[in-house]
Amino acid sequence: MNKLTFMDFFSGIGGFRIGLERAGFECVGYCDNDEYANKLYRNYFNTEKEHFFYDITTINTSELPDFDIFCGGFPCQSFSIAGKRLGFEDTRGTMFFEVARILRDKKPRYFILENVKGLLNHDGGKTFQTILKILSDLGYQTQWQLLNSKFFGVPQNRERVYIVGCYGTECTGKIFPLSGSGSENTKENSIRQLQETDGNSQGNRVYTTDGISSCLTSSGGGQGGKIGLYFINKPRYDEYKPSDIVETLKVAGDTPLMRVRNGTKKGYDEAGPGDGINLAFPKSKTRRGRVGKGCSQTLDTACNMGTIDNYRIRRLTPLECFRLQGFPDDMVKTAKELGLADVHLYKMAGNAVTVNVIEAVARKLAEVVYGAT
Q: Which of 76, 171, 303, 321 is catalytic?
A: 76
User: Are residues 158 and 116 in contact, defined by beta-carbon separation less than 8 angstroms?
Assistant: no
Crossing angle between the packed helical segments 342-351 and 35-44, to the nearest 10 degrees: 80
- Number of Cβ within a 10 Å radius of residue 239: 12
Nearest to 164 by CA among 69, 293, 50, 93: 69
How far is Cα 346 from Cα 352, in angstroms, rounded to an integer? 10
User: Are residues 345 and 332 in contact, defined by beta-carbon separation less than 8 angstroms?
Assistant: yes
- Helix intervals (H) in the chain: 15-22, 35-44, 95-106, 118-121, 126-137, 242-245, 318-324, 329-337, 342-351, 355-372
Q: Please give the single-letter amino acid code of residue 174.
A: K
- The backbone torsions φ and ψ at residue 46, rounded to the nearest 5 degrees and listed phi first, read -85, 90
How far is Cα 227 from Cα 315, in angstroms, rounded to an integer? 8
How far is Cα 349 from Cα 353, in angstroms, rounded to an integer? 8
How far is Cα 289 from Cα 306, in angstroms, rounded to an integer? 14
215 as an active site residue: the answer is no
Taking only Cα atoms into account, the Rg of the chain, rounded to an integer number of angstroms, comes to 21
The bridge status of strand 291-292 relative to strand 276-278 is: antiparallel
Question: DSSP strand E in the chain: where?
Answer: 5-9, 26-31, 51-53, 69-72, 110-116, 140-148, 159-167, 193-196, 205-207, 229-231, 246-249, 257-261, 268-271, 276-278, 291-292, 305-309, 312-315
CA-CA-CA-CA torsion sign (234, 240, 241, 244): negative
CA 333-335-336 angle, 5° bins: 65
Active-site residue list: 76
